[in-house]
Structure 1
Amino acid sequence: MVPGLEARLMESAEDEVMLVGELIQKGVNGARADDTKGMKGAIIDWITPKGQSLNPQIPRNVKSGRGFNHKRTGTLLCPAGLDWANNETRLKLVNGQIQVAGDQWPVFLYANYTYDAEDPWNGLLCSGLLVSAFKHIFTSPSSVDQEPKATRSGNARIHGMRVVTKASIAYVATQTRFALTSAQVFSRTDLVTDSERFYTSIIELLDDPDEKDEVNQLLTWWNRQVFPLYSDAERLPSKNSALARICQKHTEYKERTELTS
Structure 2
Amino acid sequence: MPPNRSHTPGQGENDSESTPPPEQDHPAIDIVEVKLARRSGRGIRRLVTLCGTPTQLVAEYDRRLLESEPDGDGGNDGNSGDDDGDVDGDEHLTAENKEEIKRRRNREYQSYLELIKLIPSLKERIADPREELRIIYYAQLVDGANNARSDDLSRVKSGVASLLNNRTNGAPNPPLDLDTRDGRGLQNDVTGRLLCPVIYDWDDPITRAKLRDGLDEHDAFDDYWIRCLYEGEKGDPEDVERGFLRGNLLIKTFQMIFTSPSSARGNLDAEETSEAQGRRRKAPSKRPSVAAQLRMNGQVTAHAIAYAAVQCLLPKLHFSLNDATHWMSDYNSFNYEEFYEFIIDFFEEDQTPEGKAAADELFNWWNQYVSGFSPTCVSTVCGHSRRLVQISEAVVTRTPATTAQSTPPKFLATDTNVE
TM-score range, shorter chain: 0.7 to 0.9
Name the CA distance, whole Å, in 2 between partners of 1:120 and 1:213.
Answer: 18
Please name the residue that 1:64 is paired with. 182
Match of 2:359 in 1: 215
SS in 1 for 2:126: helix
Q: Provide the C-alpha distance between the structure 1 equivalents of 2:372 and 2:179, rounded to a whole number of angstroms.
A: 33
CA contact (8 A) 1:102 1:198 kept: no
Q: Find the aligned partners of 2:138 and 2:360 in 1 and give their Cα distance.
A: 33
2:366 is the alignment partner of 1:200: no
How far apart are residue 107 of structure 1 and its match?
A: 0.8
1:166 corresponds to which of 298, 302, 306: 302
Shift of 1:59: 0.8
- CA displacement at 1:89 relative to structure 2: 1.3
- Cα distance, 1:226 vs structure 2: 1.7
Residue 154 of structure 1: aligned partner: 289
Q: Which residue of 2 aligns with 1:236?
A: none
Q: 1:46 aligns with which of 147, 163, 171?
A: 163
SS of the counterpart of 1:214? Answer: helix
| Structure 1 residues 172 and 229, CA gap change in structure 2 (3 angstroms) | closer
Q: What one-letter code is carried by the residue in structure 2 that aligns with 1:224?
A: Q
Selected match of 1:11 from 125, 128, 138: 128
Shift, 1:159, TM fit: 2.8
The one of 9, 24, 33 equivalent to 2:141 is 24
Identify the match of residue 78 of structure 1 among 196, 207, 212.
196
Q: Which has the larger radius of gyration?
A: 1
Q: Any conservation in 1 of the 2:231–2:244 contact (CA below 8 Å)?
A: yes
Quick one: distance in 2 between partners of 1:118 and 1:83?
A: 13
Matched, 1:122 2:239: no
In the alignment, structure 1 segments of 5+ residues that lack a partner are 233-261
Give the TM-score of the pair, scaled to structure 1. 0.81
Distance in 2, matches of 1:16 and 1:176, equals 36
TM-score normalised by the chain length of structure 2: 0.52
Cα deviation, residue 102, structure 1: 5.0
Please report how far the alpha carbon of residue 41 of structure 1 lies from its aligned counterpart in structure 2 after TM superposition.
0.9
Secondary structure class of the residue paired with 2:186: helix
Q: What is the identity percentage for the equivalent residue pairs of Structure 1 and Structure 2?
A: 30
In structure 1, the residue matched to 2:65 is: none
Distance 1:228 1:15 in 2: 41
2:255 maps to 1:135? yes
Distance 1:134 1:66, change over 3 A: same
Per-residue CA deviation, residues 153-193 of structure 1 (Å, 9 max, x unaligned), is 22222332221100011110111011111444442133433
Distance 1:141 1:77 in 2: 23
Distance 2:158 2:372 in 1: 27
- Whole-Å separation in 2 of the counterparts to 1:160 and 1:203: 20
Looking at both structures, which has the greater relative contact order when contacts are Cα pairs under 8 Å and sequence separation is at least 6? Answer: 2
Shift of 1:60: 0.9
Shift of 1:23: 1.0
Listed as ranges, the gaps of 5+ residues in structure 2 are 1-117, 266-280, 377-419
The alignment status of 1:106 with 2:226, answered yes or no, reads yes
Q: Does 1:35 align with 2:152?
A: yes
Quick one: distance in 2 between partners of 1:21 and 1:159? 19
The structure carrying a bigger helix percent of its residues is 1
